[in-house]
């Protein structure tokens, strides 16, 4: 399947915007199918997830990586809040990573404020970003998010800079 044809897991009229445990449990099973039961590699590096349970009380039944993917950090409350649109795209992560390189994915590397070089796989037309970080010579860890409209120009500038030779490796 082409990544351009990816659809959210739950239809909008079924997706619950609040923390819905049965929906999250179903999405967690999909996550485990993609990352636990059938591990995979990209660029010769195994995709690593953090299996330990989340320390965030609301997500304590789920792995740390899953909890991170389905929630967004809020700096005002210094907490992670559930974001249904992230959760509803959990099944997009593997196809995005495995489809790169392709015309639908804008790939770039960028060094964050802490000096960490991150690999970004931006499914541009769907406003979805997958980020991997080298954590060992042979492992990467994954996070994802939906790209907010007010952030698109910033990410596009990073992508263009990478295309023009700016790299953090």
CA–CA distance, 124 with 16 (Å, rounded to integer): 25
Q: Is 115 within a domain?
A: yes
Q: Is 94 within a domain?
A: yes
Summarised one tens digit per residue, pLDDT across range 103-116 is 999 999 999 999 99
Residue 169 pLDDT greater than 90, yes or no: no
Residue 11 pLDDT greater than 80, yes or no: yes
Average pLDDT over every residue of 32-53: 91
Q: Give the pLDDT score at 99.
A: 94
Average pLDDT over every residue of 92-103: 95
Q: Is 34 within a domain?
A: yes
Tell me how many domains the chain contains: 1
Summarised one tens digit per residue, pLDDT across range 125-149 is 999 999 999 988 777 887 899 999 9
The domain of 119 spans: 8-163
Q: Is 3 within a domain?
A: no
């Amino acid at each position: 399947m082409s990544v351009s044809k990816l659809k959210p897991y739950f239809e909008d009229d079924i997706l619950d915007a609040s923390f819905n445990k049965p929906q999250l449990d179903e999405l967690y099973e999909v996550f485990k199918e993609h990352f636990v039961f059938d591990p995979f590699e990209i660029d010769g590096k195994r995709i690593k997830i953090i299996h330990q349970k989340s320390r965030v009380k609301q997500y304590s039944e789920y792995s740390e990586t899953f909890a991170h993917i389905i929630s967004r950090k809020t700096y005002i409350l210094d907490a992670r809040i559930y974001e249904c649109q992230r959760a509803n795209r959990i099944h997009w992560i593997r196809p995005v990573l495995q489809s790169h390189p392709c015309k639908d994915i804008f790939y770039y590397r960028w060094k964050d404020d802490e000096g960490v070089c991150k690999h970004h796989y931006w499914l541009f037309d769907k406003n979805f970003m997958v980020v991997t970080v080298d954590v060992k010579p042979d492992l990467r860890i994954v996070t994802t998010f939906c790209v907010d409209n007010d952030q698109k120009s910033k990410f596009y500038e990073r992508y263009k800079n990478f295309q023009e030779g700016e790299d953090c490796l």
